[in-house]
Amino acid sequence: MAEGTGREQWSSTAGFILASIGSAVGIGNIWRFPYIVGANGGGAFLIPYLISVFLFGLPLMVLEFAIGRSTKTSVLTAFRSMRDRLSVAGLAVVAIAALVLSYYLVITSWVLAYALFFTVGQPTDFAAFTGSYIPLIFFFISGVAVFLTVRSGVKEGIEMISRILIPILVVILLFLVVFALTQTGAADGIAFYLSPDYSRLSDPTVWTAAFGQAFFSLSVGMGVMLTYGSYLEGGNLFRNASVIAVADMLIAILAGLVIFPLVFTAGLDPASGVNLAFITLPAVFLEMRFGMILGALFFAMLFAAALTSAVSMFEVPVATMIDSFGYTRKRATRLIFGVIMLLGLPSALSYTALELDLFGVPFLDLSDYLFGTLGLIIAGLIISVVGGWYMDRTRICDEIGGCGWQQRAYVVLIRYCVPAILLITLIATLVQAGG
């Protein structure tokens, strides 16, 4: 819809918050967070994580909402409205969002496949599944689901799907938590997950893990929250962002209370990454009574989380095509669907018999590192620098409720602290990769 003829809007603040929670709560919460906690000092990890979320992630989220709401447009046009030459920076952010989506959708499609396999009572071995070309079909189906949602619009598509899926997700999660905590391995699982090892806090990699996870989990730094903010009228941005951040964190913590008690009950070792979700957990479910139902519920929950996150990333380039290039929503979604399918193909093929890789690293893992880790930090750096330094100070103040000392402290945070922490995380991540 063109400017001036009435921009699309959320139906209410609650709708906006639910959609943002839908974006934030994703694969990152349900399977990535628990493992990172277990591997980085257990309960002690919550200290750097809380600092990352509230001191750095949350201010960036508020900034994105503020830019979006005040300019009433998406990343590219918003940046261009501050300075012409910022267009390149805007394009970079949009490109990174599309690239992250391209591989995120591949994992989303595996989750969909597993939800279906458990529902029909026939879970397949992961290597056999990914070695076939069946994942390509699921990749296409997941892409279509995202496409149809975004094509239906902000209110009828994105908001609607979050209103339906997020409550379902929470109900399944709570049920699984109660179930997992009553199993025999619950105490051991929780001990692995949360026993604090404070000595780990002196390890800088624990801190960079916390920063990376916090930004990824909150969906900040990729223009998603900026775009969602552009469909928003009124409301207290700090309050709304806090609700989103707290919900995101609670769901992540609860997911660990499902995973580790179950893994330890089955007497298995907690694995990392892809193996945890697609090899260890299915093995756990196969050993349990009612394992098929539990597996189906777990993967359905994960799919609900992943789909609403994928939708939010898809909206970034779509909104750009609408706002900056005058496309209709229908045309924009069709184009972006094609682009994402093409971009995602190498990742989708990387675990098939074709084993598409680069320098021996599967394309999917490479994308996760290049786009999901490095790209996300770079895009976050771009948004914080552009918002902090090029956005009019009084405009920021207008958005965050005045220009008192709190707001001034906030501006310092966003101008100096957030970019500094992102820069340090970027350098540390590169050094770690080289070392």
Contact set with ligand PFF (CB under 6 A): 23-24, 26-29, 216-217, 219, 222, 224, 309, 312-313
Nearest-approach distance from CB 135 to ligand PFF, in angstroms: 19
Closer residue to ligand PFF, CB minimum distance, 71 or 312: 312
Token pair listed for 358: 């680069």
Token pair listed for 377: 């930090």
Quick check: helix, strand or coil at residue 362? strand
Q: What is the DSSP letter of 200?
A: G
Nearest-approach distance from CB 27 to ligand PFF, in angstroms: 4
Nearest-approach distance from CB 301 to ligand PFF, in angstroms: 13
Nearest-approach distance from CB 218 to ligand PFF, in angstroms: 7
Closer residue to ligand PFF, CB minimum distance, 60 or 292: 60
Quick check: helix, strand or coil at residue 264? helix
Task: Return the closest-CA partner of residue 78 out of 225, 214, 218, 216.
Answer: 225
Quick check: helix, strand or coil at residue 31? helix
Nearest-approach distance from CB 288 to ligand PFF, in angstroms: 26
Closer residue to ligand PFF, CB minimum distance, 305 or 411: 305
Burial pattern 200-209, b for ≥16 Cβ within 10 A else e, equals: bbeeeebbbb
C-alpha–C-alpha distance, residues 109 and 93, integer Å? 24
| Cβ–Cβ < 8 Å for 376, 47 | no
Closer residue to ligand PFF, CB minimum distance, 224 or 396: 224
C-alpha–C-alpha distance, residues 96 and 112, integer Å? 24
R_g of the chain computed on alpha carbons:
21
> Which residue type is seen at 8?
E
Q: Which residues contact 31 (CB under 8 A, 6 or more apart)?
A: 255, 259, 276, 277, 302
Nearest-approach distance from CB 277 to ligand PFF, in angstroms: 12
Closer residue to ligand PFF, CB minimum distance, 363 or 371: 371
Nearest-approach distance from CB 160 to ligand PFF, in angstroms: 19
CA 5 to chain CA mean position, Å: 32
